[in-house]
């Protein structure tokens, strides 16, 4: 800025000197001698100084003003804040090209509904992924997270030994892209034979992109891990390991008996009610590999007999993962099982009525989190408790 002022002042100084009238020689000598002999009166300012400084101030002021104006305009443009708009219409207008038809002009309309955001479809997954189990996870919740059936996780993860209660925090699960199972191809296998073995179709195996089958020459190398979409296999029935006593009244436990009519007779159930205060499912639902339901219950919550009958098992310990367990034979072909209890309040061969307190919910056996594992069996075969209890 200082250099600019100096240049401006020197410019106007040279300009004025050009137009200043030159005095005659005699006058110049007299003027010079007068100048040298008599100094300029103190306080008197010549006209040139006033004009040059005035012009300089005007130029500087105009430069500063234009600079401030430019900055204000830039700040207002960059700091624009969009104003809130009104809520979207529940019935947005259709947008398209002008329609044409009989008596109309233009082109055919292509109606399209307005969307406030772009919906990006999820790309299909063809490879398996690894999921680390966290505390509070259950087989059902993990399967729902990946849009799979819970039995698919049992088919693929052999470390679970077909038992969803073997799920533990920190365990790493292989999660396939679709429902089904993996199979290691062997020498001599055919698509038809493998599909029949796992109740699938050869076309599903060959057409699955993750298997990378050349459809012009469909072959698989031995040792290749092949995805069998929709395939299944038989899961181990852990319920058959739970041995109980028998009773009379036409009822039976359907499992291994300690003796004929060990508990004698007793009341027969005419209906079934809910065995806990909560009706919520906290872990796994009913399905292959989990032939019961996990009912939400805190440690120490009461557990009730679902129907009248006789207690044919009241046993503490691990019991194949059931933990402290009670079983009631209802004398009409139905048997109910209550597992993972923290306390057992009934004894072997005790007659009970519907709603009798038989124990307290807990976290014993193969379980990580208090809940009530509840099963219903008919003639020795497990059924969905939801179809029986009210």
- Residue-wise DSSP of 183-203: EE--TT--HHHHHHHTT--HH
Instruction: Report yes or no on 289 lying in a domain.
Output: yes
pLDDT in tens, the chain (390 residues): 556 667 666 766 665 566 555 555 555 454 544 444 444 544 455 777 787 788 888 888 888 888 888 877 776 665 555 555 555 555 555 555 555 444 555 555 566 666 666 666 677 889 999 999 998 788 888 998 999 998 999 999 999 988 887 888 899 999 999 999 999 999 999 999 999 999 999 999 999 999 999 999 999 999 999 999 999 999 887 767 776 666 765 444 444 344 445 787 889 999 999 999 999 888 778 877 788 899 999 999 999 999 999 999 999 998 888 999 999 999 999 999 999 999 999 999 999 999 999 999 999 988 878 999 999 998 888 899 999 987
Please give the pLDDT value at position 356: 96
Backbone angles phi, psi at 76, to 5 degrees: -70, -35
CB 254 within 8 A of CB 335: yes
pLDDT at 343: 96
- One domain, residues 254 and 352: yes
Query: Rounded distance, CA 286 to CA 275, Å?
Result: 16
The verdict on 295 and 208 lying in the same domain is no
Cα distance between residue 246 and residue 226, in whole Å? 46
133 and 249, same domain (yes or no): no
CATH code of residue 164: 3.10.350.10
Is residue 105 included in any domain, yes or no?
no
Rg of the chain over Cα atoms, rounded to whole angstroms, equals 46
Give the largest Cα separation in the chain, rounded: 157
200 and 316 assigned to the same domain:
no
Q: Tell me the backbone φ, ψ of residue 22, rounded to 5 degrees.
A: -85, 130
Q: CA-to-CA distance for 154 and 240, rounded, in angstroms?
A: 18
Residue 208 lies in domain? 129-229
Please tell me the total number of residues recorded for the chain in this structure.
390
E runs forming strands in 263-350: 293-296, 302-304, 309-315, 324-329, 334-344
Instruction: Decide which of 205, 229, 253 is a domain's last residue.
Output: 229
Q: Give, in order, the Cα–Cα distances in Å from 381 to each of 100, 226, 376, 385.
A: 67, 33, 8, 12
Residue among 120, 122, 100, 118 nearest 109 (CA): 100
- Residue 106 forms part of a structural domain: no
261, 375, 282: which is closest to 322 by C-alpha? 375
What's the domain count of the chain? Answer: 2
Which of these, 173, 176, 206, lies nearest to 191 by C-alpha position? 206
Are 186 and 246 within one domain? no
Residues 155 and 287 in one domain: no
Q: What whole-number distance in Å separates Cα of residue 388 and Cα of residue 390?
A: 7
Give the predicted TM-score (pTM) of the model: 0.56
Q: Which of 181, 210, 229 is the last residue of a domain?
A: 229
Q: Which of 208, 229, 250 is the last residue of a domain?
A: 229
Cβ partners under 8 Å of residue 346, min gap 6: 311, 314, 326, 352, 356, 358, 359
Q: Are residues 372 and 263 in the same domain?
A: yes
For residues 222 and 264, membership in a common domain is answered with: no
Secondary structure (3-state) at 351: strand
For residues 198 and 246, membership in a common domain is answered with no
Query: What CATH number did the domain enclosing 320 receive?
Result: 2.70.70.10
What does the alpha-carbon distance between residue 351 and residue 311 come to, in Å, rounded to a whole number? 6
Do residues 171 and 260 both lie within one domain? no
What is the H or E stretch that residue 31 is in? Answer: helix 25-37
334 found inside a domain: yes
């Amino acid at each position: 800025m200082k250099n600019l002022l100096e240049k401006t002042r020197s410019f106007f100084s040279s300009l004025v000197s050009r137009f200043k009238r030159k005095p005659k020689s005699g006058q110049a000598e007299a003027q010079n001698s007068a100048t040298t002999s008599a100094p300029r009166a103190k306080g008197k300012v010549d006209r040139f100084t006033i004009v040059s400084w005035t012009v300089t101030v005007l130029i500087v002021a105009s430069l500063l003003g234009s600079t401030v104006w430019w900055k204000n305009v830039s700040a207002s443009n960059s700091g624009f804040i969009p104003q809130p708009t009104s809520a979207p219409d529940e019935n947005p207008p259709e947008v398209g090209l002008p329609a044409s038809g009989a008596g109309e002009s233009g082109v055919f309309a292509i109606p399209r509904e307005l969307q406030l955001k772009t919906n990006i479809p999820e790309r299909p997954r063809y490879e398996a992924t690894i999921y680390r189990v966290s505390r509070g996870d259950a087989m059902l919740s993990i399967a729902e997270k990946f849009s799979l059936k819970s039995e698919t996780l049992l088919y693929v993860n052999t470390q679970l030994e077909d038992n969803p209660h073997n799920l533990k925090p920190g365990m790493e699960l292989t999660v396939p892209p679709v429902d089904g199972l993996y199979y290691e191809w062997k020498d001599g296998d055919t698509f038809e034979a493998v599909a029949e073995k796992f109740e699938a179709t050869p076309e599903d195996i060959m057409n699955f992109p993750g298997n990378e089958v050349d459809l012009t020459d469909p072959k698989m190398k031995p040792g290749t891990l092949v995805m069998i979409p929709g395939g299944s296999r038989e899961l181990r029935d852990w319920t058959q390991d739970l041995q109980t006593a028998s009773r009379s009244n036409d009822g039976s436990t359907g499992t291994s008996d300690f003796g004929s009519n060990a508990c004698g007779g007793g009341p027969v159930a005419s209906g079934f009610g809910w065995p806990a205060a909560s009706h919520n499912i906290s872990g796994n639902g009913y399905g292959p590999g989990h032939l019961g339901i996990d009912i939400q219950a805190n440690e120490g919550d009461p557990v009730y007999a679902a129907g009248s009958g006789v207690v044919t098992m009241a046993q503490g310990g691990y019991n194949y993962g059931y933990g402290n367990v009670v079983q009631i034979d209802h004398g009409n072909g139905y048997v109910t099982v209550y597992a993972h209890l923290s306390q057992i309040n009934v004894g072997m061969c005790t007659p009970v009525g519907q709603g009798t307190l038989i124990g307290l919910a807990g976290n014993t056996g193969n379980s990580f989190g208090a809940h009530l594992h509840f099963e219903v069996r008919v003639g020795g075969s497990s059924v969905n408790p939801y179809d029986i209890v009210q």
